[in-house]
Amino acid sequence: FPTTSQPSPADFLTLYRHLSATYEGILSAHLSAELSGTHQSALSAARTVSEETGVRITVVDSRSASVAEGLVTWSIARAIEAGCSHDACDAIGRAAADLTKVHVFVPTIDGFVRGGRLSPLKGLISNLLHVRPILTVVDGKLVVGAKAVGVQNAKRRTVRLAIGEAEKMASPVFSLSHTAAPDLAETVERELRKRFPSATFMHSDTSPAIGAHAGPGGLAIAVIDVASLDQMIAEDLKGRRS
């Protein structure tokens, strides 16, 4: 069974020192601190390099993973491109972490159990009853958010949950990620586009680190409402001009 390992503080030291030679500030968003020690490694290195160089380095806890983490990073990048201050970009990243919703279908949770992300008891019950859990992230932790009997029902339930989240949003942005299931991802994206024709869509393959736990055939759907983030951007830019 494949395993994963977090980056070390030394990895971040090398990166932050390199970036500090060019940039006056760094924002670094990472996997939920509840799921990995990556965030702590980044914090440790950020403190060291900031003391060495005087460059401000802010580490943002995405409080999620995979495509949801990606939406947090994307939100920060939008704020940077808009010309927001360092503090505003940090605040927008943290707001994005709270606003992002994610639902994950996996054919089996065996990989998450072996990797220590979910309890063996949940895995046993799931396999015995043929129940397919739909995973989500709550307070930075991976939890079972819903259940369905059978793989096809679980896929449909995952999509319905994502639709339910987006229906409450003024300006939804979707991000989809799959583990060796491009046809599934394309089918789901087409369905979501029909329901939300004005929404923005992004998609990607799942990273090897996440794929090692999810296994083939999985799909993650993350969605964020950018309306409030756009308001934060506008307020920061207005304040800087006045």
Give per-residue pLDDT as tens, 176-227: 999 888 999 999 999 999 999 999 999 887 755 565 555 678 899 999 999 9
Average pLDDT over residues 125-137: 77
Over range 104-128, report the average pLDDT. Answer: 68
Could you tell me what percent of the chain has a pLDDT over 70? 86
Predicted local confidence at residue 211, as pLDDT: 53
State how far the Cα of 79 lies from the Cα of 92, in Å rounded to an integer: 7
CA distances to 100, 120, 184, 197, 240 from 165, in Å? 10, 29, 20, 16, 33
CA–CA separation, 62 and 190 (whole Å): 27
Closest CA to 196 of 157, 223, 158: 223
Question: What structural domains does the chain harbor?
Answer: 9-98 (3.40.50.10170), 101-228 (3.30.1180.10)
Question: How far is residue 109's CA from residue 115's CA, in Å, rounded to a whole number?
Answer: 10
pLDDT the model gives residue 112: 64
Inform me whether the pLDDT recorded for 174 exceeds 90.
yes
Single-letter residue type at 145: G
The band of 108, judged by pLDDT with boundaries at 50, 70 and 90, is confident
The whole-number average pLDDT for the span 5-18 is 93
Write down the mean pLDDT value for the chain: 89
Q: With 0-12 CB in 10 A as exposed, 13-18 as middle and 19+ as buried, what is 150? A: exposed
Q: What percent of the chain has pLDDT over 90?
A: 71
When pLDDT is averaged across residues 224-235 and rounded to a whole number, the result is: 97
